[in-house]
Structure 1
Amino acid sequence: MENYVKGMNTDPDIEWGDLPFKCLPSNLTWMKVRPGSKMTNLIEFAITSMDVTKTQMWSGIGPAIGKTISCVEIVKRKIPNLHQISKISYHKCEEYWNPKNNELDSLRVVRNVPLLHILLSVEPLDSNEPG
């Protein structure tokens, strides 16, 4: 790879239709965790919003998965008797590499980055839903 320079990345955002759950309530709070997100801000907002919406979706991609799990476990400790469904999948990201000399072709690399969704609810969830 010493003959290439990294170009642009295409990393499409996760949309509502991409979520792996069948029946989601409309008043859902969707917590999208990024690697640079502050855990204290996420947890404070999650606890205050759980009083209103009663259901939360936590999503983390790649390096944010560990932070997502930690936040969910802290919320579960602070709010007892929550119901949970977890789903693991992959998200496609594309990287483009430009050659340093004209003899080489440009490269397109498709990576599958792990993706985690955790659904938390005060009310019982569908027991037939796997996860």
Structure 2
Amino acid sequence: MMHYRKAQNVEQELSKADLPFEDCLPKSPNDFLWMHVKGGTKVSNVIEFAQAALNKNEHRCVVWSGSGGGVGKTISCAEVLKRSHPLYQVTRMAYTSVEEHWKPQMDGLEEIIATRQIPTLHILMSLDALPDSIEGLQKPNTATDFWEGNETHRNSHPRQQQQQHHQPSTAGSQQKKRHRSGRTKPAQQQVKQVAEENEPSSHGQG
């Protein structure tokens, strides 16, 4: 490819018929809000727009879609929206076609167009209850194993988190042993450090 230069990527334009939710989408395409998330999307703006649509009852269902650099933000949008509304959720993956255009830098060569498939994440969220028979259904206020979310894991185990915060530290006894051998800081600084370590942490709250 030394005689070619990269020109542009043309991503397949999806339609609502391409969404992988044949078993759970509303019958009318106008009955749900479809939010496209890209790498440069400002999360706060699209979240406010979706929340307003649900609050005004303009839509009862929202679908988030993102590929490439937008996948992470797609997940963030869904997680934030769940905090303000009791939503049923279905998460699925699909593929989108992308054409890579390569322009020749020498006479006599033709343009090359390479097509590849990139994974695309789609998250359907509904205020209305969805049937239990739907594959991958996640009900409101429950966790999903579709991806590993550290934040979801921490929020779903508050008792365990509280026990960890109040668990006595063994750092004091270990530091005393080291102090006897003359390798630790003065005792006054040591007591201050142990007190700070035993102080309950606020991590995970918010």
What TM-score, normalized by structure 2, do the two folds share?
0.58
Residue 46 (structure 2) aligns with: 42
Runs of 4+ in 1 over 4 A off after TM superposition: none
Instruction: Report the CA distance between 1:112 and its aligned residue.
Output: 1.2
Residue 134 (structure 2) aligns with: 129
Residue 118 (structure 2) aligns with: 113
- Matched residues in 2 for 1:100 and 1:45: separation? 45
Please, what is the CA RMSD of the aligned residues? 1.7
Residue 25 (structure 2) aligns with: 24
Cα deviation, 1:91-119, whole Å, max 9, x if unaligned, reads 11111212212365532211211101100
Larger radius of gyration: 2
- Matched residues in 2 for 1:96 and 1:15: separation? 23
Residue 98 (structure 1) aligns with: 103
Alignment of 1:77-96 (within 5 A): 77-79=83-85, 81-96=86-101
Instruction: Report the CA distance between 1:2 and its aligned residue.
Output: 3.1
- Matched residues in 1 for 2:111 and 2:32: separation? 43
The unaligned stretches of length 5 or more in structure 1 are: none
SS of the residue corresponding to residue 96 of structure 1 reads strand
Q: Which structure carries more helix by proportion?
A: 2
- Among all aligned residue pairs of Structure 1 and Structure 2, give the percentage whose two residues are the same amino acid: 40
Residue 67 (structure 2) aligns with: 61
- Matched residues in 2 for 1:37 and 1:96: separation? 25
- Matched residues in 2 for 1:20 and 1:60: separation? 13
The unaligned stretches of length 5 or more in structure 2 are: 137-206
SS of the residue corresponding to residue 117 of structure 2 reads strand
- Count of matched residue positions in the alignment of Structure 1 and Structure 2: 130
What TM-score, normalized by structure 1, do the two folds share?
0.88
